[in-house]
Structure 1
């Protein structure tokens, strides 16, 4: 081949390559459109771990799309009342929310199973059920009726049993108590004489301070220290048998999510999975120091007695039987969790529990 022929063919090839680039550019642009979404959180910015998960999602999505897909995160009440975040998503007022399913049990008790139910799954089991046990598919089949799609986007781990103005020595001490408590736990508590109140996180302290409520549960030491509950109710009980591993979800307007390019859907899913893991890790890393600080400030740690737990467990089982008998949505999700829980606790007590118990004994003996 002479030089003239070579350069002629090379030039033709170059034109072909240039044409391919020109043709490919619009397709790439379509796969990475410029989008700005709004996210309504149910949590105040002061709770930096739980609100921070929304910011984690936004940051991950922006970085993965070179800034083409941006999510603006708004704290509780900034654009949407905290307990109406999912409603705003369903209506299309905002594209997504960061909230808890059980805030919406007024629509259907089945929403509770998306977060936590009394004597349910711990955090590790919750994540396993959603991810590998079919839980998230079942939840989204239910949420489709509300034009919602959800992905796990946080877990606090087992929570504390709350702050009380007086000691709770027996089940009798719960009777007549006005307590801020969310989800089905409130219904179970009502069976043992408590008057449940559902109050947004930002409104809990003033309600407790003014005596509008006698007790409150919230999350755990790290958040409770920030909110100052120890200043107005000194008895700090554990565990929160109603929230052994509560999930926080990213809710999406179902139509808006389905309209996204597949790569954006995957980026959002990965961002939520990362935020989910980060939240639990941050709480695990932060709660011990906060608990020491609370005790130093005068908080009195108390454990719920076995008698109280037994009465509440019986009330919970009665509640689930009643709901399952009349609500197919609840029964479907509950039965799946129950079956998963049977095997999960069988395995947990063999290895995890045995190892953890031994190590805790070493910690108490000072030989860790």
Structure 2
């Protein structure tokens, strides 16, 4: 791999240092020539052309770089815990890292575009950037959902590994290129919860007939078990629960769910999520405007997106634990979904993905192949690494607390 933010920064700094050294060295040399006494018997040399030109020209004023302002549409209410705040920090990071040369103004859901319409807003020029979920854009390409999460698929760290090092980014670029849009991985909430329910869920039969907020491939799996799903944006979920147009809802994890007030309308909180083990967010950028940026600003956008991913992941890891304790204290019944329900979800997921693979276009099939190859490689170590450590820690907790 060549180039990158650090390489560009070193080249820029090296050029600045060399340029500064050349200018600084010129002044002593000119002064030395002016002070050297003439040699007897020799005529003084005429001034050098460069000396004459420097004496005649006034000092050049500093040239400020062009300042650019971009508008970011988001799928989140302004200031929403988790994704909303992450979008605002990402915008501020781009502004700060660029020294104000590229400033980003954040617009909440519905300001520049409807919450689920960020892709179209960037594609048609209403926005320069958007912060949302790739799963919202399955109508553009069915396999866009893979860049958010796949049922029983990659976890957050595994997903980042696939996108950044396993070929995922190139395939992501390929499906978005026809629309003039480029995407960056720009956040992860980590493994999410299955969701909020008004009643206990003991078997697959308890899911049948429920009206539930869900999105992406997970919603289609639930539909196979008799659940009527609706892909509502964050700002509409609580109202839908209050009006009884929903019986259940998934969103993210305890941190964001508590901020939305979902515990006020449902008593049962089940985990883990089968449908969103990664919780990956995306930054969408106009491809034309991104390519028009100078190299250092391109590097700023890419580095800020990567930092946003790490930042949100760390925040959610801590805040989810804090929020979970608050929810339990407020009376929420937190439970693990039964093995029977999980097996039913697993069977439905397998059927759906097999059908999706058969129907996929050429690029979609490449995404399937790349994703499954990464899953086989990554989970082999996860089993004896992180998963094994988590199991061992749970076993040992009572001895080391």
* Same fold? TM cut 0.5: yes
Among 334, 337, 347, the alignment partner of 2:368 is 334
Among 235, 248, 258, the alignment partner of 1:225 is 258
Instruction: Report deviation, 1:65.
Output: 2.1
Per mean C-alpha deviation after superposition, the further-off stretch among 86-95 and 351-360 is 351-360
For the residue of structure 2 that corresponds to 1:71, the secondary structure is strand
Q: 1:16 to 1:269 in 2, by over 3 A?
A: farther
Partner of 1:320: 353
Q: Deviations over 1:66-115 (max 9, x none)?
A: 21210001111122110111110011111000010001213332110111
Q: 1:12 to 1:296 in 2, by over 3 A?
A: same
Instruction: Report deviation, 1:125.
Output: 0.3
Q: 1:18 to 1:182 in 2, by over 3 A?
A: farther
Per mean C-alpha deviation after superposition, the further-off stretch among 72-81 and 55-64 is 55-64
Q: 1:243 to 1:126 in 2, by over 3 A?
A: same
Q: 1:298 to 1:2 in 2, by over 3 A?
A: closer
Query: Residues 129-168 of structure 1: matches in 2 within 5 Å?
Result: 129-168=162-201
For the residue of structure 2 that corresponds to 1:83, the secondary structure is coil
Q: 1:141 to 1:298 in 2, by over 3 A?
A: same
Inter-partner Cα distance in structure 2 for 1:294 and 1:47: 18
Whether the 8 Å contact between 2:112 and 2:126 is mirrored in structure 1 is no
Inter-partner Cα distance in structure 2 for 1:154 and 1:190: 28
Partner of 1:344: 378
Instruction: Report deviation, 1:16.
Output: 6.0
Q: What runs of 5+ residues in structure 1 fail to find an aligned partner? A: none
For the residue of structure 1 that corresponds to 2:311, the secondary structure is helix
Query: Residues 1-368 of structure 1: matches in 2 within 5 Å?
Result: 4-5=35-36, 12=50, 22=60, 32-328=65-361, 329-363=363-397, 365=398, 367-368=400-401
Q: Deviations over 1:166-195 (max 9, x none)?
A: 111000011111110010111111111111
Larger radius of gyration: 2
Q: 1:5 to 1:342 in 2, by over 3 A?
A: same
Partner of 2:3: none
Q: Deviations over 1:117-146 (max 9, x none)?
A: 111100000111111111111111111122
Q: How many residues align?
A: 362
For the residue of structure 1 that corresponds to 2:72, the secondary structure is strand
Whether the 8 Å contact between 1:56 and 1:271 is mirrored in structure 2 is no
Whether the 8 Å contact between 2:141 and 2:175 is mirrored in structure 1 is no
Moved over 4 A (4+): 1-19
